[in-house]
Amino acid sequence: MLQPVDLNRVERLLILKVSSMGDIVHASPVAAALKRAFPHLYIGWIAEDRHAGVIEGSPRIDRLHIIPHKALRRKPFGREARQVLMQIAREVRAERYQVALDLQGLLKSAIWGVLGRVPIRYGAHRMRELTPLLLRRIPIPEHPDRHVVQQYLDAARWLGAPGEFPDLYTSPSDAHLPEPPVEFPLYVPEEARRQVAHKLASLGVDGKPIISLNPSAGREWKRWDIAKFAELSDRIEAEWGIATVFVGGPGDKPLEERLRELKRRPLRSLIARTTLKEAMAVVERSAVHLCGDTGTAHIAAAFRVPVVSLYGPTSPDRTGPYGQRARALSKRSLCTACPKNQCVRKECLQWITVDEVLASVQPLIRDVGVSPHL
């Protein structure tokens, strides 16, 4: 059986986790666990530019290598892509990493360990495509319904990082054990918080509690009906007197326009008006965050912000906001039209009602000290 390298004798380690935003958040505790166990270890991370900001500035990461994904995707075999590829490869080689830890298990992640000439390369998660030819598979079991954060931390434990997370699960029933506290080493600069305070003040929210909402998601079938988001926002404000603020990126402007049309009360929106760090700051200062299966759910969980998340076909047991499974709403188990392990219709997300979301939010606002005007 493969034996782990002794990290006491290693100076530089590179984590390969290039996307997506939520996945990077889920993997970030590995850097924290390794840094705590081996303080001398220089830890690098490589990620695509569209997602790298979520881990930028982390106190547990010494060097962040950023991949300009558009340059590589536009013409993957063109001259520009080759130049970018070699530039990043040289950058990685210059750091002289001795060990690479791939937490993605795809060719687009594993290739950087090869191009960076990292001599010891481990694969720690669902090795697919050609990765078995490029990586040494870490011998840890996979449990489909076990949370992915704990699966990633198994790799850190195998490499010798003790910690507060439990031993490897040995039976399916173990998947229901309480989730222990885990360090998510995300960073929000003070300037981002100041900018957010200014922008919220411009919306009439100055130091008051807010509930933030993200109506977007990476794929259409992960998006709850925008009309329900509008109704949810209106009812929170009308029934409880708490301001709601929408967040999202530049590509979500059409959703903002629909919200403006559908809402009966004035729309407070920072969609396309924040940097990623500022969006993180909005979530961080929220009393509650409401969203679908998207990156801000995991940012909220990392900051210990109560989050009510809405799931369709994907499993909240495995990829829901860490430590907040009870508030990850899903009706996938009620579906009889699709095979058990495959979603065909992708309609179960829309079965979640506004009343059900409000019922999940109500105890949270009392828990965080907000007094709703019922």
- Looking at the structure, tell me whether residues 88 and 200 fall in a common domain: no
pLDDT band at 342 (very low <50, low <70, confident <90, very high): low
- Looking at the structure, tell me whether residues 16 and 150 fall in a common domain: yes
Is residue 194 situated within a structural domain?
A: yes
- Looking at the structure, tell me whether residues 84 and 147 fall in a common domain: yes
Percent of the chain with pLDDT over 70: 89
Say how far apart CA 245 and CA 210 lie, in whole Å.
Answer: 7
Is residue 184 situated within a structural domain?
A: no
Say how far apart CA 149 and CA 125 lie, in whole Å.
Answer: 11
- Report pLDDT for 163: 61
Of 328, 292, 284, the closest CA to residue 192 belongs to 284
More confident residue, 37 or 341: 37
Tens of pLDDT, residues 268-309: 999 999 999 999 999 999 999 999 999 999 999 999 999 999
pLDDT at 179 over 80: no
- Looking at the structure, tell me whether residues 158 and 209 fall in a common domain: no
Tens of pLDDT, residues 110-161: 999 999 999 999 998 788 889 999 999 999 887 777 899 999 999 999 999 9
Say how far apart CA 91 and CA 223 lie, in whole Å.
Answer: 38
DSSP state of 96: T
Task: Tell me the H-state helices in 12-55.
Answer: 21-37, 49-52
Question: How far is Cα of residue 102 from the mean position of the Cα atoms in its chain?
Answer: 17
CA torsion through residues 112, 115, 117, 119, sign: positive
Q: Residue 190 has which token pair?
A: 């003070």
Is residue 175 situated within a structural domain?
A: no
Is residue 69 situated within a structural domain?
A: yes
- Looking at the structure, tell me whether residues 35 and 124 fall in a common domain: yes
- Looking at the structure, tell me whether residues 237 and 158 fall in a common domain: no
Is residue 137 situated within a structural domain?
A: yes
220: CATH: 3.40.50.2000
Is residue 177 situated within a structural domain?
A: no
- Looking at the structure, tell me whether residues 70 and 139 fall in a common domain: yes
Say how far apart CA 288 and CA 299 lie, in whole Å.
Answer: 12
Is residue 33 situated within a structural domain?
A: yes
Say how far apart CA 328 and CA 349 lie, in whole Å.
Answer: 12
- Looking at the structure, tell me whether residues 272 and 356 fall in a common domain: yes
Task: Tell me the H-state helices in the chain.
Answer: 21-37, 49-52, 69-74, 79-94, 107-115, 131-134, 148-158, 190-202, 226-235, 253-262, 276-284, 295-302, 316-319, 354-367
Say how far apart CA 226 and CA 217 lie, in whole Å.
Answer: 12
- Looking at the structure, tell me whether residues 127 and 268 fall in a common domain: no
- Looking at the structure, tell me whether residues 215 and 104 fall in a common domain: no
- Looking at the structure, tell me whether residues 133 and 232 fall in a common domain: no
Is residue 172 situated within a structural domain?
A: no
pLDDT at 59 over 80: yes
Overall number of domains in the chain? 2
- Looking at the structure, tell me whether residues 199 and 151 fall in a common domain: no
**Mean of all residue pLDDT scores within the chain:** 89
Containing domain of residue 329, as a range?
190-367
On whether the CB atoms of residues 161 and 33 are closer than 8 A, the answer is yes
Note the pTM of the prediction, 2 decimals: 0.91
Tens of pLDDT, residues 227-237: 999 999 999 99
